[in-house]
């Protein structure tokens, strides 16, 4: 019996995709070779990689004037690469501190130049976001930066600011392809694949080509987007296994209705959980209702002892990963694309029963 996997990342994958990887692992499409032992300069990998990039472009609706590729180093490397490439001397960048992940990006950016905070959620304990309509870039800004979904705080931008000519850059690690997004509003979208797209290892980069003209060209090779764009992410050895699994996962997303199909699933799953929370006095969501995440549902119980008990008993009932991040405590259900509806139905029944026994 498979566990119900609510981990925040690495996280659940579609069973169909795991089975496809298993079936093809030793002998990829009868070619007498595994994908993970083939050269990344050879036809077998390149054909698969091209298909992967094409499907990603199609599902995201990426316009022609954008490069799409994968890198290593996780989303974390991008926290540094973005300011190194785009935060130019004497200028500044606009950042929002909306939780753990944008905070980390902000502290890396400060090491390279001047940073304006257009929003700081510290006072509200990162439970709310600014109204996107109220957000405006500052005069000398090289770019505006936000994290579309804060995985730990469970807070998600529902709409995005209009930044005019100032490039908008977003970390979409934990809500990529969970909803349709107008890519043309962004100069760059990036993230780790290990939540909605596949196993850890690869980082996706979607970047408008004209960004390369604004970049600092005097960087070590791996840190220079110019080189990666030119080589389509194949300047050095790419994370082959992760990319192959992403390709299979993108095909699964396509078979299941694409970005809109994923949004429909996400709304149903998140809706069920938030209804369960809101209809009780026992469970409580700390997040501003307008910005609640459809991917990471964070909730609290009346006491930390009850939270511990909840985690223990849910594990015994086959539900993994419901403990909140160690930095904030509480509980968190990560309900990414691949998590089946039944897992959420099961969790909601478990919550109601837990309340009945302990409320
Ligand atoms: N951004 C977000 C929104 C994340 O959730 C995470 C990881 N959980 C990261 C960045 C960092 O990603 P990585 O571990 O791939 O460096």
Measured CA to CA, the distance from residue 215 to residue 78 in angstroms comes to: 14
Q: Distance from the CA of 172 to the center of ligand 1, in angstroms?
A: 9
Q: Distance from the CA of 153 to the center of ligand 1, in angstroms?
A: 13
pLDDT averaged over 10-residue windows placed end to end, the chain, 359 residues: 96 98 98 96 95 98 98 98 96 97 98 97 95 94 98 97 97 98 98 98 98 97 98 97 98 98 98 98 96 98 97 98 92 98 98 96
Measured CA to CA, the distance from residue 305 to residue 309 in angstroms comes to: 6
Distances 191 to 174, 234, 243, 307, 325 between C-alpha atoms, Å: 8, 18, 13, 30, 19
DSSP state, residue 167: P
Q: Which protein residue has the closest C-alpha to ligand 1 atom 5?
A: 151
**Residue 203 Cα: closest atom of ligand 1:** 15
Residue list, ligand 1 pocket, CB within 6 Å: 9, 74-76, 101, 147, 151, 171, 173-174, 192
Active site residues: 101, 171, 195
Q: Please state, as a whole number, how many other Cβ atoms lie within 10 Å of the Cβ of residue 76.
A: 15
Measured CA to CA, the distance from residue 169 to residue 156 in angstroms comes to: 15
The encoded tokens of residue 250 equal 């993108």
User: What's the length of the chain?
Assistant: 359
What pLDDT shows up at residue 42?
A: 87
Among candidate residues 114, 110, 119, 184, the one with its CA nearest the CA of residue 142: 114
Angle at 109 between CA 56 and CA 208, to 5 degrees: 30
**Residue 192 Cα: closest atom of ligand 1:** 15
DSSP state, residue 118: E
Measured CA to CA, the distance from residue 71 to residue 82 in angstroms comes to: 14
Q: Distance from the CA of 102 to the center of ligand 1, in angstroms?
A: 10
Best of 75, 104, 107, 193 to mutate for ligand 1, by most ligand atoms within 8 A of CB? 75
Measured CA to CA, the distance from residue 297 to residue 98 in angstroms comes to: 16
The encoded tokens of residue 317 equal 């009932």
Q: Which protein residue has the closest C-alpha to ligand 1 atom 10?
A: 75
Best of 99, 174, 178, 295 to mutate for ligand 1, by most ligand atoms within 8 A of CB? 174
Angle at 224 between CA 220 and CA 227, to 5 degrees: 110
pTM above 0.85, yes or no: yes
Best of 96, 101, 145, 200 to mutate for ligand 1, by most ligand atoms within 8 A of CB? 101
Contact criterion met (CB below 8 Å) for 351 and 283: yes
């Amino acid at each position: 019996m498979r566990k119900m996997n609510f981990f925040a990342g690495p996280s659940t994958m579609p069973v169909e995709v795991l089975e496809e990887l298993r079936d093809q692992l030793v002998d990829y499409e009868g070619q007498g070779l595994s994908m993970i032992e083939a050269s990344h300069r050879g036809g077998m990998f390149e054909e698969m990689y091209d298909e992967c990039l094409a499907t990603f472009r199609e599902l995201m609706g990426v316009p022609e004037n954008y490069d799409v590729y994968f890198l290593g180093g996780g989303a974390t490397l991008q926290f540094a690469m973005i300011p190194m490439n785009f935060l130019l001397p004497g200028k500044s960048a606009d950042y929002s501190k909306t939780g753990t992940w944008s905070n980390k990006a902000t502290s890396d950016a400060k090491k390279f130049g001047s940073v304006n905070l257009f929003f700081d959620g510290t006072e509200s304990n990162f439970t709310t976001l600014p109204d996107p309509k109220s957000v405006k870039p500052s005069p000398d800004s090289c770019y505006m930066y936000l994290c579309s979904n804060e995985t730990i705080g469970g807070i998600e931008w529902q709409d995005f600011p209009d930044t005019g000519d100032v490039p908008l850059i977003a970390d979409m690690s934990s809500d990529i392809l969970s909803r349709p997004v107008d890519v043309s509003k962004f100069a760059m979208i990036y993230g780790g694949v290990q939540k909605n797209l596949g196993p850890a290892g690869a980082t996706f980069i979607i970047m408008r080509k004209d960004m390369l003209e604004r970049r600092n060209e005097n960087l070590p090779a791996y840190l220079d987007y110019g080189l990666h764009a030119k080589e389509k992410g194949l300047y050095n050895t790419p994370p082959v296994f992760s990319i192959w699994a992403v390709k299979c996962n993108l095909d699964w997303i396509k078979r299941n209705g694409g970005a809109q199909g994923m949004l429909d699933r996400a709304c149903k799953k998140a809706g069920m959980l938030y209804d369960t929370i809101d209809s009780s006095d026992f469970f409580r969501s700390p997040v501003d209702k307008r910005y609640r995440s459809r991917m990471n549902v964070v909730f609290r119980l009346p006491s930390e002892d009850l939270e511990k008990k909840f985690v223990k008993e849910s594990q015994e009932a086959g539900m993994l990963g419901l403990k909140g991040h160690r930095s904030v405590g509480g509980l968190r259900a990560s309900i990414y694309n691949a998590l089946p509806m039944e897992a959420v139905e099961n969790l909601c029944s478990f919550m109601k029963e837990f309340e009945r026994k302990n409320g």
